[in-house]
A and B are shown apart, each in its own frame.
Chain A
């Protein structure tokens, strides 16, 4: 090597590169376990990375924050990003409210994209292509035919100016793209794990065993990136990046017996916390009526009530050497006040390949009125008749009532162009279920437009 003679001398030119203080980055990990009434177990992993950003872009030096994600959102002017891969159906009646919003099956990308010389759509294409390469998924198929700009849904509340401040672009567009048919598998999980500071080598992420996770009744993993204001004046900005993984495991099918240890459930062991984590915890949330047996050789959980009917037992992993937790509980019935406030079901009506309909049942379990927005993304090959939309509320006393919608928005589909969007507001009566129903004609498809294994049918969201 030649430059061994280099020594520190006066440095004059630094020029355009400039200097700035290193940003403060924090990492937190948290695992929530929740026994479900039907004997299943909900495991919800949350990995939070935050970066205090008191300077403007570009971010250059990364410690805990994943470089590729930051590079991607900066390059494609993405102000906010939510990506999710989901498999299975969430059973609202049995499993209560899901801990995540994105429970539709397949892959979904929701992003606020700004415009530059590439344009909004160019940035969206770039972003989805980059995500596709990163997560080994078919996200590059998100194009005009399955990406939409939602009207009211997914809109950020007014006054949230962090994004604009952060990127210098104030009129970003929210785009939503769905690939309902996307299969989720280990090849998506591996790059997702790669973005974690400790990967699966330490901390709760050590439990991420793909064999057990993909053998579950419901699986969802995702990430979100979002800048938020640290103060009302929004001078300082916090970039938060969260990775979540949610799985509903059927323990009785996986193994015998009624006593389960973490080791049995995941076939892996938590040795310690991730040394980079500011906090690292395992929480078990259960109804206070449930007789939950918790055994741990070393650690004692801190038990506290989180609501009138829910208790939580928390373990701080930073004090543990090995967490060998054992759980057992009797199957229990969900209390009505414990089940989800609101649940939705959607199914296809009719048969044959000419026409059909879609019916969505929305149940309001609360004893009060609920304002909701109904949002439906319908592929272009279903020609929806807006005049056939029928909304009926079935009240608790058996009466049926026609409901009025407000703020109705309907985007006409274009054949081989854009999909249709149906969006309107509803006020659900207390303790009722409401049916939203509409008819469609099935469009004529070229043979190349059929998905592989076409007789299995189409996934429409």
Chain B
């Protein structure tokens, strides 16, 4: 009590002694508190509310998106000769380098002439080597071996040499010593034509939006390291006929060979189910011979509300294949186009979803079992639909018919030729690089635009891993290894997507700036108001004080006459 009163007294005295504005200490208190707030409070608050943002390699990310390095995809050919067939005159001694140069410059020219504006500078590179005499049992993707065989008399009556393009990576040419350079010419022409078409297709797959993409790509599902295939037998009416199928046997015969071939790039999880009472949401139209649905009714074919098609697979895209068995009264059910011409396959495809085949088994049996043989037409439809859904495209070696070149038909036991497989690998490689690059670019732009977003170190690690993988892809491509480069590109796009969709980054996005103000205002406004008002008050006083001081030190002649008036008033 005594202390307080003494203090008060002292203050009173101080106030009495000094000017009415208050003591110097009093004047300094608000200033000090502001200083303390700024010097300690502000950094503390800043540190406390700071959002952790790891330092991402922003320049590299943007560079890959907007200005990526040129991608050169190698095609390695090797030629082995039967004894004495190789052209040996001095003029054609370095035939391999000559062919290589000619093809590469043609490819370069084609890429430069191309008016497509691509997001990735993609071109093909042709490498030709003389065989080192090694035994090639298995050839890696984009590695081809051309065997020049001695043309035996009587084996082929045709005078001209023949190039046989098989469905594996081993090609065979029949020739004689005389005709060897001519054979090389045919080989060169075929390969050039093949590579130019491939280059065109690849560049087409990465065009910018303002140039048209091919419609075939729209059906295809993007590359995924894992796919889930679900085969469903849909029986519209099990009361009139119960249907079962030997799906395992049929898959083994028709589907697994293709999947085995594709397994170098993706895993396929295969399942099958039987669904019953699957009524169509669209009633088929009756005709004098059974019923039909027209092609414009097909978009409504799938009854997603009632058919149990969902999958619990969280990541891998699911591809559905339905074998639809209509009820006996509406058999045969056929698909007709707008001109009412029946479809040959009686099947159709839904882009990026799957394929459907309608089958009309004989109605006389109570229980009908689709054996492996009965499933053959269905499986053919499914295989070709799967090829289209994955984006496997036919490969053309020659322009039109070339009598000297024989290209093998697609082998029935595989469902895909090695050339098609390599072509798919090239396209998926390019798509992966592009996807990784554009994802990284978007991620960088997003992080820059959202300043409040947390960026953990894990994101940084993912991004730098993805960038490493991209660089690695380019590096490995230059050494000529396509499958290794493909693996790297798949990793790169996977990592980039993982970084982009990281759930940690999303959390903070829900808090807009208004939320921040709403939290800070009730805290800081009551505390700052008195400080601000006292500062304002002091400022006004100080100004006034300075004015009076000036008056005293430098009395104005104008004010003087006013002063004597005061005492007069009193």
Contacts and interface: CB of A to CB of B under 8 A. Distances in A.
A197 B276 contact: yes
A60 B277 contact: no
A66 interface: yes
Interface stretch (A14-22, A337-345, A453-461): A14-22
A4 interface: yes
Interface string B22-38: 00000000000000000
Interface in A177-192: none
A68 B274 contact: no
B305 to A, nearest CB: 9
A71 B384 CA distance: 27
B270 A60 contact: yes
Given A71-B271, A272-B239, A14 B252 contact: yes
B412 interface: yes
A67 B384 CA distance: 25
Given A66-B308, A67-B271, A134-B312, A19 B344 contact: no
Interface in B302-333: 306, 308, 310-313
A64 B437 CA distance: 46
Interface stretch (A166-174, A198-206, A280-288): A198-206
Interface string A16-34: 1101101000000000000
A23 to B, nearest CB: 10
Contacts, number: 124
Interface in A192-234: 194-195, 197-199, 201-202
B323 to A, nearest CB: 13
A7 interface: yes
Nearest to B256: A17
B460 to A, nearest CB: 25
B338 to A, nearest CB: 19
Interface class of chain B by DSSP: mixed
Contacts of A68: 308, 310-312
Interface string A62-73: 111011100110
A257 interface: no
A63 B369 CA distance: 13
B248 A61 contact: yes
Interface class of chain A by DSSP: loop
A10 B263 CA distance: 21
Given A62-B271, A71-B271, A133-B312, A201 B277 contact: yes
A9 interface: yes
A22 to B, nearest CB: 7
Given A68-B310, A197-B276, A60 B252 contact: no
Interface in A52-82: 60-64, 66-68, 71-72, 75
A297 interface: no
Interface in A269-300: 272, 275-276
A11 B313 CA distance: 31
Interface residues of A, number: 44
B269 to A, nearest CB: 9
Interface string B138-182: 000000000000000000000000000000000000000000000
B415 interface: yes
A2 interface: yes
Contacts of A156: none
Given A68-B311, A202-B239, A62 B272 contact: yes
Q: Chain B interface: which size bin?
A: 35 or more
Interface string B393-410: 010000000000000011
A185 B115 CA distance: 60
Interface string B443-475: 000000000000000000000000000000000
B251 interface: yes
Contact of A134 (B239, B310, B344, B373): B310
Contact of A62 (B274, B306, B387, B413): B274
Contacts of A61: 247-248, 271-273
B442 interface: no
B277 A199 contact: yes
B484 interface: no
B480 interface: no
A60 B412 contact: no
Contacts of B251: 17
B530 to A, nearest CB: 30
B66 interface: no
Contacts of A197: 276
A130 interface: yes
- Quick one: which of B274, B306, B384, B415 has the most chain A CB within 10 A? B274
B188 interface: no
A5 B344 contact: no
B403 to A, nearest CB: 22
B389 to A, nearest CB: 13
Given A68-B310, A199-B277, A14 B409 contact: no
A133 B412 CA distance: 41
Interface stretch (B375-383, B500-508, B552-560): B375-383
B257 interface: yes
A278 to B, nearest CB: 13
Given A60-B270, A202-B239, A272-B239, A1 B256 contact: no
B129 interface: no
A97 to B, nearest CB: 34
- Quick one: which of B260, B271, B415 has the most chain A CB within 10 A? B271
A308 interface: no
B384 A2 contact: yes
A445 interface: no
B380 A20 contact: no
A232 to B, nearest CB: 31
Contacts of A6: 254, 376, 380, 383, 410, 412, 415
Given A1-B381, A275-B239, A63 B248 contact: no
A399 interface: no
B410 A60 contact: no
Contacts of B347: 1
A13 B312 contact: no
Contacts of A5: 409-410, 412
B413 A9 contact: yes
B369 to A, nearest CB: 11
Interface string B331-365: 00000000000001101000000000000000000
Contacts of B248: 19-20, 22, 60-61
A276 B238 contact: yes
A298 B306 CA distance: 33
B242 interface: yes
Given A3-B384, A5-B409, A63-B273, 4 more contacts: A1-B344, A13-B256, A19-B252, A68-B311
26 contacts: A3-B410, A3-B415, A5-B409, A6-B410, A6-B412, A6-B415, A7-B412, A9-B413, A13-B257, A14-B252, A14-B256, A15-B260, A22-B248, A60-B248, A61-B248, A134-B312, A194-B306, A197-B276, A198-B276, A198-B277, A199-B276, A199-B277, A202-B277, A272-B239, A275-B242, A276-B242
Interface of B: 230, 238-239, 242, 244, 246-249, 251-254, 256-257, 259-260, 263, 270-274, 276-277, 306, 308, 310-313, 344-345, 347, 373, 376, 380-381, 383-384, 387, 394, 409-410, 412-413, 415
Interface of A: 1-17, 19-20, 22, 60-64, 66-68, 71-72, 75, 130, 133-134, 194-195, 197-199, 201-202, 272, 275-276
